[in-house]
Chains A and B, each alone.
Chain A
Amino acid sequence: MKPPSRVREMPILRVIARALVPVILLFGLYVQFHGDFGPGGGFQAGVIFAAGLIIFALVFGAEALRQVVPVVLTERLMAAGVLLYGAVGVVAMFLGGEFLNYSALDPLTTGHYGQHLGIIVIELGVGIAVAATIMRVYYAFVDRRADEDGTGADPALDAGAGGEAT
């Protein structure tokens, strides 16, 4: 019997993961959108969000995650995050400021609302790019594994349980 399937069938893991993953994703969103008031920001939020989804994949299989977030989507989001960040800079230029000078986003006041808006949008860009990149790297490992032995086995669980291979 292959260890991965045994690990995946453990009811405790499945129940805990089912309960924890939504909380982790929600916490990721909190860190994303509360980064201007508390510790955190786009980078940490992206990592937490991706980690939550990867935990889901570890317990329920990478195929289950692929249904939610296809590989192609992660590739597009990687680029979209970077472009969103850059776009804020370009919009600031069109509104008469320098590149990435968010004060120009809000010409009516002294500029600090523009700063706040700019920071929220670029942090969102950072979060999207980081989360998508981490998931794309994870998929790269999973696919490589599938190429080698033809199973859809999950790499992390195999490493954890398949010690007798050597």
Chain B
Amino acid sequence: MPPVELLLMLLLLATVVVVARLQDLFAAAMLTGIASLLAAGLFVLMDAVDVAFTEAAVGAGVSTVLFLGALSLTSRREKQQERTRILPILIVVATGAALIYGTWDMPAYGDPDAVIHHHLAPELIAETEEKIHIPNIVTAILASFRGYDTFGEVVVIFTAGVGVALLLGGLGPRRRAGHGEEES
């Protein structure tokens, strides 16, 4: 593994271990933002610029703010656990081991013989310019070739927003009065 990737990976590992062990939830929220930023750095090194962009904006930016918003509604410190619970640790370790075992079947990173580089990808790279007429292939795939999926994703985001609003006070005219805008 190249040194920069290795460094980012080690920093990421250290950050998540600290997040899991911290009792101070404010520090944990800030560190999850840093973990997202490190992940975004890794994505850039893997040439996945669009993904890195999303990770940095959502993971390091907005979700940190929302974590802090949630924290202000609850306590800043985690409740002390009386005893270490074995079963959750076992489940987490088993799941992690299964996921790592799953990566053994994956092609090596950057392997030109990997299936993903032979199925669909060459045609999309060759035809996007002529069919869609825009240079960013990622945008062309997301917005046009698989426009249905993206439409579904937007509906999911909309539904999630409606859900959060309903859970935390209600929507529209029935919203709980925030600042004397409306009386409920």
Residue in chain B with minimal CB distance to A103: B131
Interface of B is mostly: helix
Asked if B96 lies at the interface with its beta carbon under 8 angstroms from chain A, I say no
Give the A-B pair count, Cβ closer than 8 A. 190
**Shortest distance in angstroms between B130's beta carbon and chain A's nearest beta carbon?**
7
A75-107 at interface with B (beta carbon < 8 Å): 75, 78-79, 81-82, 85-86, 89, 100, 102
Q: Decide: A116 near B133, CB < 8 A? Known: A133-B157, A159-B72, A160-B68.
A: yes
User: In the assembly, what is the distance between CA of A158 and CA of B133, in Å?
Assistant: 49
Interface residues of A toward B: which range? 35 or more
Show the binding face of B for A, using Cβ within 8 Å.
Answer: 26, 29, 49-50, 53-54, 57-58, 61-62, 65-66, 68-73, 75-77, 130-136, 138-140, 142-144, 147-148, 150-151, 154-155, 157-158, 160-162, 164-165, 167-169, 171-172, 175-176, 178-179, 181
Show the binding face of A for B, using Cβ within 8 Å.
Answer: 31, 35-41, 43-44, 47-48, 50-51, 54, 58, 63, 66, 71-72, 75, 78-79, 81-82, 85-86, 89, 100, 102, 111-113, 115-116, 118-119, 122-123, 125-126, 129-130, 132-134, 136-148, 152-153, 155-156, 158-160, 162-163, 165-166
